[in-house]
Amino acid sequence: MTVAARGASSTSGGPLLRLPLRQGAKPPTGPGPTGLTLHVPCVHEYIPCVIFLWSQFRIFREFSDAPLFKFWIGTLPCVFLFHAENVETVLTNAVHMEKSYAYTFLHPWLGTGLLTSTGPKWRQRRKMLTPTFHFSILTEFLEVMNEQAEILVEKLEKQAGKGPFNCFNHITLCALDIICETAMGKKIHAQSNSDSEYVKSVYKMSDIISRRQRTPWFWPNFVYNYFGDGREHDRTLKVLHSFTNKVIHERSEKMSHIESDNDSDNGTKRRKAFLDMLLMTTDEDGNRMNNQEIQEEVDTFMFEGHDTTAASMNWVVHLLGAHPEAHSRVQQELQEVFGTSNRPANIEDLKKLKYLECVIKEALRLFPSVPFFARNIGEDCHINGFKVPKGANAIVLTYALHRDRRYFPEPEEFRPERFLPENAVGRPPYAYIPFSAGLRNCIGQRFALMEEKVVLAAILRNFSVEACQKREDLRPLGELILRPEKGIIIQLEKRILSN
């Protein structure tokens, strides 16, 4: 692979692959030699290699001063964006609101829900769903989060004092249990039954989609269905949709009975789920969502709402285990808030965990759960003086954006204090966007932060953590979610709290 300045010749010793434009597509252009073009001698190397290189941060370290990169995926012109001012140009313009071509591979699973829809449908759906993420409603999910965090602590107690182990799956299954019960009102007991067909299918589908996104020769449906994972994709999809369909029908029927009984079930207050609110939500004309529309959003919550949060919590555990001073400061804060009690966390507690919140934000800076996302350029535009044509894909490299030395000096250092209010003054809002930003920012970011505080507080109130990997051993892989190649290896010691 060769990275060359515009107009420079290849240094690889071989001819570059010249790809034709898609019909009507034009290459990104711009003045001067500083805009960089990524030339790839072999298209079959392209996607896996680029994602790996960027997730390892090799190219950005060398060319971080370049305003942007342009490159090709097959016949699709693309640009990498990794500076706040360039990212803001795209994310604040409604013309560029449509997600990129790669998101179409999510459509069979998620339909055109909030993540994948665009235009009037997205605007209407966002308006309908925003009230369901109101803070007062999110507090109702706190009980579920505390219960599942308690189960996680019981599982981790079996590992405490017994040497190194991989905590990644433990934390991920906890997050999956939380999202299933809060999104669907359905307990799947993933922490005690990780072999369930639905649990396996959630992970399998994410892997299948990620592989297809990275292999453009499988983008055509005909090729994918006959030579790729098409059949496995359809089998997995059937499991996922059957499960959520069944839950929606059961919940709908139960709701109709309970509504006539003053929202109680056998005399006890019934927990609400996002699904309940979707079943009751109406548009401006008073029309309710149909089952297919509800399924799109439930599946979207399941996809977006557990893997991202789980990855973030795992990165926090590693970083605290590798930085004893920050670890001690978090535990001191927890001691001040909870004392020696083992009571569950409440909303007031979470508000007081300010340093833990800084730790979570710094972990999301270093290891953003979504390392990159992409938009379709809706009209010819200029980004930092470079003309980018309509139809190109703008790929926002969160992983690189968060390492801009102008706003994060010594960017590879773990410094939670960066996010104390006094230290964030003057930092552009688009320099740090772990939940995206602008018109399509993540609707569930407050839910995610709440969940992370609850689960991490439960872990750190009960255990002291020691990381068993160096930073260079983590080898983060930039797929749909930024994950460590071989998990998060830690040691735990049970904490003995005294009055």
Distances (CA, A) of 477 to 103, 228, 359, 368, 370: 19, 22, 22, 11, 11
What one-character DSSP code corresponds to residue 92?
T
Rounded Cα distance, 441 and 433, in Å = 9
Name the residue type at position 457: A
- Largest Cα separation within the chain, whole Å, is 77
* Whole-angstrom distance, CA of residue 152 vs CA of residue 173: 9
Q: Could you tell me if 394 and 377 are in contact, meaning their C-beta atoms sit under 8 angstroms apart?
A: yes
For every residue of 425-488, DSSP letters joined together read TT--GGG--BTB-GGG--TTHHHHHHHHHHHHHHHHHHEEEEE-S-HHHH-EEESSSEEETT--
Nearest Cα neighbor of 466 from 482, 483, 488 is: 488
* First-to-final CA distance of the chain: 61
DSSP summary character for residue 80: E
Tokens of residue 283, six digits: 């548009």
Enter the tokens of residue 73: 């995926």
> Is position 442 annotated in a ligand binding site?
yes
Question: How far lies 179's CA from each of 346, 380, 458, in Å?
Answer: 19, 40, 17
Please choose, from the candidates 122, 55, 172, 137, the residue with its C-alpha nearest in 3D space to the C-alpha of residue 485.
55
Tokens, residue 142: 């706190």
Q: For every residue of 94-126, which 3-state class applies, written as one string?
A: HHHCCECHHHHHHHHHHCCCCCCCCHHHHHHHH
Cite the annotated binding site for heme by residue number. 442
